[in-house]
Structure 1
């Protein structure tokens, strides 16, 4: 009986580690695990004011090329150095959380995207962010700066299948499910995305605002509701290619993460230059005032 219980606990632990989102109670169980790396993606001022005990702060801009119009990822060498500086090893469990702002939410999914692109899959986001943690574990917070004990040993194994360019997207517009992760008013063409000449959405794309996948307290909707959205609503099949875009790679990252990690649609890709490229090229098809 004891053996069965141990196996069951091990299975539940594995199940939790493979999930895209993790609850505060699950995270609490990881606090004493020296293989767990907890990362706070807020700016340093917010992080310094209060954070989860043991969490280290990550500067998201370090993962992006300076003066990059499309927020392109930094070189592999820099990505390797930044990931290792966070103390991430090949056998680590990484849990990322934000401080419940839209910027923070996208920072968390962007960092998760960077890690998965680098070949590190054992990453989850804290469901409900910092506020959900404080609500359940108000005493387990700190204002002391935490640092990784030592550099990690994780070695990059780049996943080249996560991104695609405008040429590839144009070819796949008819055969793939293309999802626009921006707010509906941007998709429909009532408002304009920043730094774009044209309004509306990529022709044939469907509106799928990433924030609609969350409740008002920024906790993720239940799996049954996500199934209704993606499987019933968009009729997505496991093997079908899904392409996500936004204003840029940041605003596309959370929609991508939910599909890829939480829902298990591993054939989900990001058009990383997104509307900053597409909407500024008059040769590429766009549609306004139409729900596809």
Structure 2
């Protein structure tokens, strides 16, 4: 009898667990379920033109704020307020997507997913391929904004999935670091206009976030990502790895791939990234070298 109860509990838990990546057909099959919250993180202008039915809208500005030359995730109280506004509670399952209107738009969902995890919410998934994939699956669009359903989620910060500038400095030479920007910026052949210095954090390895995508905007199979990142770049899923980019968005995609899809339990995201690091004169950088 006890064995049956345990098995039933395990089945119930698995039925409500969230895979890190869900397909448009999966979302069509589950849309409207009571505990499922769909969040559109593209601009409101795109949202009102047509979105996935039941989806609630939340701009990226609700999740991060400027701190001088760079931006950081908002406070626990602000994130909690936004998640409750979206109707998210502890028991909710959340699917996040964007319209894929440009590269930056493609990256907003993984930053929001990271921000949710930063404050203790892990029952999230990314819609593979975003709104274009939903359209290809013959998913209908809506211009109707759903009624607000206040959630009761309580935020508690988990510092361990992030790292600040001092933490990065302390890890140089000790921990693998992954630069999510285009390789031309990593190598230092071109300097980004928003940065004072060209190149990369000393010792970091280049992995452009777009390497994880197919041409249609869907993500490559886990086996391919494992071949690139674990077998190719020699990253160890059991060891710490720090991800960074220009200002936080690109690196959220690499963090998602490493942490959620490949099981890197000790992945950390450097939120301020190069907009902080490369705009200072006391941080270690290299250029014209592949590491």
Q: Output the TM-score relative to the length of structure 1.
A: 0.91
Question: Paired residue for 2:19?
Answer: 19
Question: Paired residue for 2:46?
Answer: 46
Compared CA separation, residues 143 and 214, structure 1 to 2 (3 A):
same
8 Å CA contact retained: 2:40, 2:96: yes
The separation in 2 between residues aligned to 1:136 and 1:251, in whole angstroms, is 27
- What secondary structure sits across from 2:78 in the alignment? helix
Count residues in correspondence: 284
- What secondary structure sits across from 2:167 in the alignment? helix
Compared CA separation, residues 7 and 77, structure 1 to 2 (3 A):
closer
Unaligned runs of at least 5 residues, structure 1: none
The separation in 2 between residues aligned to 1:232 and 1:215, in whole angstroms, is 20
The separation in 2 between residues aligned to 1:25 and 1:7, in whole angstroms, is 27
Question: Paired residue for 1:193?
Answer: 192
The separation in 1 between residues aligned to 2:87 and 2:186, in whole angstroms, is 40
Cα distance per residue 1:8-50 (max 9 Å; x no partner): 9867745xx4322111111122213110000111111111111
Question: Paired residue for 2:84?
Answer: 84
Cα distance per residue 1:96-128 (max 9 Å; x no partner): 011112122111111111111110001001001
Could you say what the CA RMSD is over the residues aligned between the two structures, in angstroms? 1.9
What is the CA-CA distance between 1:204 and the residue it aligns to?
Answer: 0.9
8 Å CA contact retained: 2:41, 2:57: yes
Runs of 4+ in structure 1 over 4 Å off: 6-12
- What secondary structure sits across from 1:284 in the alignment? coil
What is the CA-CA distance between 1:271 and the residue it aligns to?
Answer: 1.4
Q: For 1:54-93, what aligned pairs fall within 5 Å after superposition?
A: 54-66=54-66, 68-93=68-93
The separation in 2 between residues aligned to 1:214 and 1:147, in whole angstroms, is 34
Is structure 2 residue 281 aligned with structure 1 residue 282? Answer: yes
The separation in 2 between residues aligned to 1:286 and 1:68, in whole angstroms, is 21
8 Å CA contact retained: 1:37, 1:88: yes
Is structure 2 residue 42 aligned with structure 1 residue 32? Answer: no
8 Å CA contact retained: 2:230, 2:237: no
Q: Output the TM-score relative to the length of structure 2.
A: 0.92
8 Å CA contact retained: 2:40, 2:56: yes
Is structure 2 residue 117 aligned with structure 1 residue 116? Answer: yes
